[in-house]
């Protein structure tokens, strides 16, 4: 049986120092408000970068293992 975990996301609001785990829905709502296209922002997070919005900074929550990982190309479809 194939087992996998859904990605988890975090936000650090500008007025706070701590990262908070958020749902994918919360992330998508904020990206819809601030980005013309969401897919490039998600790709940046998958590649380990943070996405800055007027509300805060968003990132993919990495769990355990080697964070370096191999590079891969996402489909542009």
pLDDT band at 77 (very low <50, low <70, confident <90, very high): very low
Looking at the domain assignment, is residue 50 inside a domain? yes
Count of structural domains within the chain = 1
Summarised one tens digit per residue, pLDDT across range 35-68 is 999 999 999 999 999 999 999 999 998 765 444 4
Looking at the domain assignment, is residue 28 inside a domain? yes
Looking at the domain assignment, is residue 49 inside a domain? yes
Looking at the domain assignment, is residue 15 inside a domain? no
User: 62: which DSSP letter?
Assistant: P
Query: Nearest Cα to 22, choosing from 14, 12, 32?
Result: 12
Model pTM above 0.75: no
Looking at the domain assignment, is residue 56 inside a domain? yes
42: its two tokens: 């998600």
User: How far, in Å, CA of 4 to CA of 29, rounded?
Assistant: 24
pLDDT at 4 over 60: yes
Residue written as tokens 């993919």? 60
User: How far, in Å, CA of 4 to CA of 16, rounded?
Assistant: 32
Range of the domain at 54: 24-62
């Amino acid at each position: 049986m194939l087992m996998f975990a859904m990605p988890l996301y975090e936000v650090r609001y500008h007025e706070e120092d701590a990262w908070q785990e958020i749902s994918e829905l919360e992330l998508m709502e904020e990206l819809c408000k601030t980005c013309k296209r969401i897919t490039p922002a998600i790709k940046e997070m998958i590649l380990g970068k943070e996405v800055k919005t007027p509300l805060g900074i968003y990132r993919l929550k990495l769990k355990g293992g080697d964070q370096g990982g191999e590079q891969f190309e996402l489909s542009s479809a």
